[in-house]
Structure 1
Amino acid sequence: MSDPTVVLDDLRSESDQLDELVRELSDEEWAGPTPAERWSVAHQIAHLAWTDSAALLAVTDADAFAAQVEKALVAPDSFVDEGAEEGAALPPAQLLARWRDGREKLQQALRAAPAAARFPWYGPPMSAASMATGRLMETWAHGQDIADALGVVREPTARLRHVAYIGVRARDYAFGVRGLTPPAAPFRVELTAPDGTLWAYGPEDAAGVPHAEGQGKVTGPALDFCLLVTQRAHRADLAVRAEGADADRWLDIAQAFAGPAGPGRAPQGA
């Protein structure tokens, strides 16, 4: 997607929906635990605010962002948690204001960016559209943690197509970050969208090639696939299916986010 307008509009809608979920919470609810170990609702919003700030820095000051990356490399296992801890210590109203201000500044910066611009990131460089897609994916995923913590069931929307897209595109990254060689051939991924239509990625004949050659097929509800690649639910609890050994392996390790391989979530009832 070369034109970032559509995904930026969807990012704003996704952020606004999450804002509605948290804006009236009590201080006790802000401090309440979420499915992410040691992270409260405040940690989740603080992380989004921190990452929006990092993205804004990448878009507006590449040298300053490079310096931040160097700091992250010194403590790769803790720098994300440290950013969340700092923001979570703020009073909820102040944290909410910080998140709102930061995400709007990022919106404006990405909308104003030249079409051909590429910005540094913790993974490969990103276009404005890719940066917005990544921010939407994270907003949705951390919003899912908050919804689960509050016992809220969110209605899936067509915005999930951005999360699904980045999950498919990150296939080779998921293998590589674990020191594994990515399959040489692409998979066919067919997902049932919230409105019942089909979202398809990869060659139609991928599942028809002998699986020993590395091809395969993944099918299932788009919501379940998005929960899988953002590691918000265990594969055993989702209706995502694989044909072929490589595709099956991918579903065990899939991640749509940059950075170290996450621990994922335990199966329900485990």
Structure 2
Amino acid sequence: MMKRLIILLEVLSLIFLIVPGGMAQKKLSALVSFSTSSIEFVVDNLSKEYTGYVDVSITTDSTDWEAYCQLDMIGIPGDRILLAQGINPTSSSFIPLTKAAGITRKMNNKNIFLSRINIKYIPSYLDIPGRYEGKLVFGYKTTINGKESLVQLGQLPVSIDIKPIFSVTIWSESEMSRKEIQNGPIGISFRVPKPGEWCSLEKICLTIVTNYSNWNLQCGATDLIDKELNRFIPVNSLYIIVGNSSNCMQFSNAPISILSGQSPGEIGVTLRFKLNVTESILAGEYSGNIKLLFGGM
């Protein structure tokens, strides 16, 4: 069994109380232990939620106290860093760490073990790539002679390392089917009965999610081939239409830029393809592949 790392932090808090006839002092001691030295998230997927946890135990001389946890981090809103207690908490039990969160209250009990404190980070393309460092501050509120005091017990480092991310979900749609393309080539096909302009049997739908501030998307294509008749149509006869644009962009042997952005975001776009067939091209069923290339900073 792996030995659990325990970090012990002892805090002696000195609380001064005004009593009749002068100043009196009362000394309270508190002990906190963490099951891990830090919570770290490495973010490489904007559609995934990231979770970590720490087991915490607190011992104090106070007989009436309430433990709390507070997030101290700059750069990421507290409403996307959430806390829940217990093993396997439900999604609805998480609360945002926009302010100090009470985690337990005990009266006449000098020792308490908090079963588990779970931390969840919900990524957003609004978070600029980089490393964010902060801390979870644990402490307790105690009341002595009717007066409330805050006692800080310890801090647990928290880091969120956000990678530059560009993700594309690709769907191929035709009259008969709609399928997601996860790996492999992105195919397009045409029925060419005679010379003229012909649209592809498929349209390609993209959902782009990125945290890059400047980015562009390029598209390359292959020649179109009729494998049964061993005929081909050169790639420069193929055109692409992006979204609702009325402009057709002609393919060549090099990829062409089809889309760009100057800010992070989530974008949906449809790609349609057209084939311009001359009289030198014989009738047939032709197919080829396209490839998407991303560049960003």
The two structures have a TM-score, normalised by structure 2, of: 0.25
Greater percentage in strand = 2
Which of the pair has more CA radius of gyration?
2
Larger helix fraction of residues: 1
